[in-house]
Amino acid sequence: MNRLSEREGVELLTHGDPIELGRQADAARRELFDDTVTFIVDRNINYTNVCKNECRFCAFFRRQGHKDAYLLTYDEILEKVRETVEAGGTQVMIQGGLYPDLGLGYYEKMLRLIKTNFPSITIHSFTATENPVFCAAGGHLHSGYAEAAAGCGTGQSAGRRCGDPGG
């Protein structure tokens, strides 16, 4: 199986037929794994619903100060990870709104606490919407963020912006 070149990827993204793309992906999966299908237990942890983007279609976000607005404490986040591990989970997807002025330190400490307390958990977290905000907060370029996040224990990041359709 050959990996797509960058040019082929851009071509698929801009002009591709999603159904045909799905067929090709399925064919590639069958070539590698036949009919074997696996799954993991993964929990989404939404650490805040406060978001400064205020996308018009979004029913999730709340403005700072709204009665339903929340920002989880580290203890609350760790408790959710603990529940996940006890239920046989191996991965958490941490994702939230763009909380104003939270600072990169909040995220770094969150990730380090999770990895320190639950070394076996995979942190598949944050989105393409959150990442540039972290970069700005830390004064890093995007690639610098990726290295910093990896250093804090982030294994993977979601490829889709949470403001994208279906996100």
Give me the least distance between CB of 77 and ligand SF4, in Å please.
Answer: 17
Asked whether 162 and 52 are in contact (CB, 8 A), the reply is no
According to CB under 6 A, which one of 9, 22, 33, 60 is a site residue for ligand SF4? 60
CB of residue 133 to ligand SF4, shortest distance in Å: 10
Q: Which of 45, 48, 61, 118 binds ligand SF4 (CB under 6 A)?
A: 61
Contacts of 110 (CB under 8 A, 6+ apart): 47, 74, 77, 94
Does the protein bind ligand SF4 through residue 17 (CB under 6 A)? no
Rank residues 43 and 62 by Cβ distance to ligand SF4 and give the closer one.
62
Largest CA distance in the chain: 53
Query: CA 47, 52, 58, 64 torsion: positive or negative?
Result: positive
- Of 48, 129, 154, 157, which lies in the binding site for ligand SF4, with binding defined by CB under 6 A? 129
Q: Give whichever of 8 and 54 is closer to ligand SF4, judged by the CB atom.
A: 54
Contact 81, 114 (CB under 8 A): yes
**What is the spatial distance between Cα 77 and Cα 70, in angstroms, rounded to a whole number?**
12
Select from 55, 85, 146, 150 the one that contacts ligand SF4 (CB under 6 A). Answer: 55
- List 54, 76, 79, 147, residue binding ligand SF4 (CB under 6 A): 54
Three-state DSSP state, 98: coil
Least distance from C-beta 129 to ligand SF4, angstroms?
5
The DSSP-derived string for 108-140 is HHHHHHHHHH-TT-EEE---TTHHHHHHHHHT-
For ligand SF4, give the closer residue by CB, 55 or 113.
Answer: 55
Please give the residue ranges that form the binding site for ligand SF4 (CB under 6 A).
Answer: 51, 53-55, 58, 60-61, 97-98, 129, 162-163
